[in-house]
Homo-oligomer: A and B are copies of this chain.
Amino acid sequence: MTAIPIPARVRGSVQQLLALASLIAILVFFSFASPYFFTPSNLVGILMAATVTGILALGTTFVIVSGGIDLSIGTGMILCGVMTGVFMTYWGWPAWAGVIGAILFGGLIGFINGFNVSVLGLPPFIATLGMMLVASGLSLVISGTKPIYFKEHPDFQLLMNYDVIPGARFPLGVLIFLVLTVVAAVVLSKTIVGRYAFSIGSNEAATALSGVNVVRWKLTIYTIAGLFVGIAGVLAASRLSSAQPVGGMGLELEAIAAVVIGGTSLQGGRGSIAGTVVGALIVAVLTNGLRVTAVPQEWQSVVVGCVILVAVYVDMLRRKAN
């Protein structure tokens, strides 16, 4: 037998490189199209815009790799933001406690999703759609349909905005995003929960037959996604220095789109954090670029839609060619 071994590792990283190529193409295009685009401050702006969706996408990558889906991340994030307000403003907790509380609250949302999916056996789409509705209602109920402001914590907005590099504008929020990316990448590719996420997404029944406690690990996976939702909620609240009780609907689709553009399969079993980040950046760069080049706003979603189609198609062709 003549085996032509292409190690899976090498093939994987080539793929990511290719997705990156699409991103770079878009970056180059807009750099020529507008003098305002390729400036440090605008690039940081893009990263800031990518932070919240990006963090949501990181968490949901775990869920999608395991063959599930999470539609509750958008409104769940809003609810976590509101909880930040409840803890810090209504209940007067110190900032650190409020932040941790809200993140854990996100974990709780994820845990409930995981419970509904793995213990009760509900289809992930329905389980998380239900949670999406519940979270969007609860945000309004809990906040009394008003934004909650961090009166007692004027510094809370620094969590997102603090300039980590003195002199240059590089906000802490973006740094947090980068750190979380590394953490997520390690967890997904180097730890047991990541391995089981791939295994469950690849063949859940076979994984269970192999003696893996699939119920427990799915709970863990959804809880991880929930923790990321919590972090995103806290950062969004910090950025706006207020907990906004509306919105979030549609954000789940944006985050899932980032994951899929990054090459993660909605069937489960295949995917990477690097891809997700590239996917999130493609969307953020595109949106920003169209604004900077002053494309009429009604055309922007047309262009974004087309570019997503083309980017994924090109990525697919290249993979096949490989």
A positions within 8 Å CB-CB of B: 71, 116, 120-123, 125-127, 129-138, 140-141, 145, 249-250, 253, 256-257, 260-261, 265-266, 298-306, 308-309, 312-313, 316
Contact = CB atoms under 8 A, between A and B. Distances in A.
User: Which of A120, A125, A306 has the most CB atoms of chain B within a 10 A radius of its CB?
Assistant: A125
Given A249-B250, A257-B129, A122 B301 contact: no
Contact of A126 (B120, B298, B308): B308
B140 A298 contact: yes
Given A71-B253, A129-B253, A298-B140, A123 B265 contact: yes
Contacts of A138: 302
B302 A141 contact: yes
Given A123-B266, A126-B308, A133-B302, 10 more contacts: A120-B316, A123-B265, A126-B257, A126-B312, A130-B308, A130-B309, A133-B301, A137-B301, A137-B302, A250-B250
A309 B122 contact: yes
Contacts of A134: 301-302, 305-306
A303 B120 CA distance: 19
Contacts of A300: 137
How many identical subunits does the complex contain? Answer: 2
17 contacts: A125-B256, A126-B260, A126-B308, A126-B309, A127-B309, A129-B253, A129-B308, A133-B302, A134-B301, A134-B305, A137-B298, A137-B300, A137-B301, A137-B305, A138-B302, A141-B298, A145-B298
A22 to B, nearest CB: 13
Nearest to A301: B137
Nearest to A124: B266
Contacts of A299: 137, 141
B137 A313 contact: no
Contacts of A309: 116, 122, 126-127, 130
A20 B298 CA distance: 42
A257 B301 CA distance: 25
User: Which of A121, A126, A303, A306 has the most CB atoms of chain B within a 10 A radius of its CB?
Assistant: A126
Contact of A304 (B121, B127, B133): B133
Contacts of A137: 298-303, 305
Given A122-B313, A123-B260, A130 B298 contact: no
Nearest to A120: B313
A61 to B, nearest CB: 14
Contacts of A308: 126, 129-130, 133
Nearest to A306: B134
A111 to B, nearest CB: 15
Contacts of A303: 137
Contacts of A301: 133-134, 136-137
A263 to B, nearest CB: 10
A299 B116 CA distance: 21
Contacts of A260: 123, 125-126, 129
